Structure 1
Amino acid sequence: MSREMDKLKNALAEAEAVVIGAGAGLSASAGFTYSGERFEKYFGDFIEKYHISDMYAGGFYPYETLEEYWAWWSRHIYYNRYVDTPKPVYSRLHQLMKERNYFVLTTNVDHQFQRAGFDKKRLFYTQGDYGLWQCSKACHNKTYDNEETVRSMISEQKEMKVPSELVPSCPVCGAPMTMNLRQDDLFVQDAGWHSAAERYREFIQNYKNRRILFLELGVGGNTPGIIKYPFWHMVNEWKNAQYICINAKEAYAPEEIKDRSICIQADIGEVLCQLDIYGKQQIQKLHINSCFFDNE
């Protein structure tokens, strides 16, 4: 790991720009797990009644009423969007990046980059946002902030149901509202989505022939066409580009770009912690050396 830390440190130091590609593994490393103890803590009643296996599966369950549907989803939204992650992985990443020229491309929908302090203008959430609702029929290209209503749903739900008056409906056509998540061809890409997409495109174009570092964190094989494959392609095409992949389970690169890749199969949070410790040790060494030479 020490050798890999050296390579990672040097790659970051030499890069003129860093593009972070973040997948579900980053949030999992930060403690946002969708099964196990955390799932049982917040959804025990749903597990008992419907034998739901995890949070992901529960989002597709055919609940009998909208009141029950929104009891589930209000909890899912609240505990994965409006609270901080149990572990400071995002804040460590922000500390690493805040003085650098970066842009974030992510399939995560939990808003944790912004909660950690990342610049909103440097983020592109390609797959939606737990904090937004849209018309279930996509009758118009607009999304709606849900925080106030979700908090009311959390505090007022009883027996696995929210009050009927809190069930949201489209202000244009009257159809039920739904999550602004890319699940089918009805996903609404609003003005904010298109603005973020354009900022990402401009960032890539500005640094395509310069020392650009593609830092892939926790990206799996579900949607490789959004982050993984484009990163590989750009590194292969641009000879000054480098690729870093940190993943607890799958850290690899194609043969064509292996000479400009660093692949670390480990927990992302642990790597960032080690990098932070490593950086502090280097600063301490520099300070000691400086004092030594001053004394001479």
Structure 2
Amino acid sequence: MFREKQSPVFIRSYSEQVGRLEQEIKNAEALVIGAGAGLSAAAGMNYKGQRFEKNFSDFEKKYGIEDMYSGGFYPYDTLEEYWAWWSRQIMVNRYEAGVGKPYCDLLKLVKGRDYFVITTNVDHQFQLAGFDKKRLFYTQGDYGLWQCSVPCHRKTYDNETEVRKMAARQNHMKIPSELIPRCPVCGAPMTMNLRCDGSFVQDGGWYAASERYHDFIQNHKKQHVLFWELGVGMNTPGIIKYPFWQLTAENPAAIYACVNKGEAYCPKEIEMQSICMNEDIGTVLEECIP
């Protein structure tokens, strides 16, 4: 539907763009927030650099791994080493991370409003900040969940207790063999409930959240809706970005807003309905708070 050429919509000044976004947040009948990795990066949850080196210097030295993302896909020799890596990654990004300020600021802007969040992030930041769980759709999984690696059944399991044990007892980049998690049904090793291939388990909670999200979209289809994209890149544009463009194009009353430093743009077809800010997400959120 959309032409290949995309528009950055940089005609207005920064202050004008912030002012327009503030008005749309205030006046919209519904807000649909699409959040990607850029939002967590704005909260300081970077997967490389000093934060990575502080927690994974031994893996970096042994294997040449340069960031947390690629380390999660590394073919470790043993499950003891695999879970040494993953228990640290889960602790750093889920159980010890704390809540990022941009998430708290975003909640201030939408609290009491009719909103829904769809996100590809897996770090639980929205719930840590206090967002209503019934208004969240985590499409790609959660660091706090495991599933059977086969998978032999469509269920996920909370992992906090086991992960904390792994993190506390690992030695020389390995966990004790008795801590390797196994499926309670078939005995196969467990794995992360993160979407990386066709084995990703969409459990009952996933389908319930998906239904609530799609019902929200349907119920506000012709209203003044703000489709607000924060930190969404081009890794999986079919989940948030392309649908937001399409929904905006189909609804003359809708507005599309994109805040993403270095990646803020929209198709020509919805240029007049768009606010694109090539700025730091945390700064923009701060300035939108009354």
What TM-score, normalized to structure 2?
0.94
1:177-199 per-residue CA deviation (whole Å, 9 max, x = no partner) reads 00001111111000000000000
Candidates 166, 175, 184, aligned match of 1:171:
184
1:86 offset after TM fit, Å? 7.1
Moved over 2 A (4+): 83-87
Candidates 179, 189, 199, aligned match of 1:186:
199
For 1:129-168, list aligned pairs within 5 A. Answer: 129-168=142-181
Counterpart amino acid of residue 158 in structure 2: D
1:191-217 per-residue CA deviation (whole Å, 9 max, x = no partner) reads 000000000011001100011110000
1:264 maps to 277
1:20 offset after TM fit, Å? 0.3
Q: Are 1:11 and 2:24 counterparts?
A: yes
For 1:194-209, list aligned pairs within 5 A. Answer: 194-209=207-222
Counterpart amino acid of residue 114 in structure 1: Q
Counterpart amino acid of residue 267 in structure 1: D
CA distance in 1, matches of 2:169, 2:63: 22
Counterpart amino acid of residue 76 in structure 1: Q
2:4 maps to none
1:246 maps to 259
For 1:210-289, list aligned pairs within 5 A. Answer: 210-276=223-289, 279=290
1:40-68 per-residue CA deviation (whole Å, 9 max, x = no partner) reads 00001111111101111111111111111
Larger Cα Rg: Structure 1 or Structure 2? 1
Instruction: Say whether the 8 Å CA contact 2:146–2:193 is kept in structure 1.
Output: yes
1:283 maps to none
1:101 maps to 114
1:238 offset after TM fit, Å? 0.8
Counterpart secondary structure, 1:197 = helix
1:43 maps to 56
Q: Are 1:123 and 2:136 counterparts?
A: yes
CA distance in 2, matches of 1:8, 1:40: 37
1:77 offset after TM fit, Å? 0.8
Q: Are 1:71 and 2:76 counterparts?
A: no
Instruction: Say whether the 8 Å CA contact 1:32–1:86 is kept in structure 2.
Output: no
CA distance in 2, matches of 1:162, 1:49: 17
Candidates 77, 91, 97, aligned match of 1:84:
97
Instruction: Say whether the 8 Å CA contact 1:215–1:244 is kept in structure 2.
Output: yes
Instruction: Say whether the 8 Å CA contact 1:214–1:244 is kept in structure 2.
Output: yes
Greater share of residues in helix: 1
* Greater CA drift, 225-234 or 154-163: 154-163
Counterpart amino acid of residue 220 in structure 1: G
Counterpart secondary structure, 2:234 = coil
Instruction: Say whether the 8 Å CA contact 1:31–1:86 is kept in structure 2.
Output: no
1:128 offset after TM fit, Å? 0.6
1:85 offset after TM fit, Å? 4.7
Higher relative contact order (CA 8 A, sep 6+): 2
1:291 maps to none
Instruction: Say whether the 8 Å CA contact 1:32–1:85 is kept in structure 2.
Output: no
1:165 offset after TM fit, Å? 1.1
Counterpart amino acid of residue 97 in structure 1: V
CA distance in 1, matches of 2:145, 2:183: 13
Instruction: Say whether the 8 Å CA contact 1:21–1:217 is kept in structure 2.
Output: yes
Counterpart secondary structure, 1:133 = strand
Q: Are 1:112 and 2:133 counterparts?
A: no
CA distance in 2, matches of 1:89, 1:239: 30
Counterpart secondary structure, 1:219 = coil
Instruction: Say whether the 8 Å CA contact 2:166–2:175 is kept in structure 1.
Output: yes
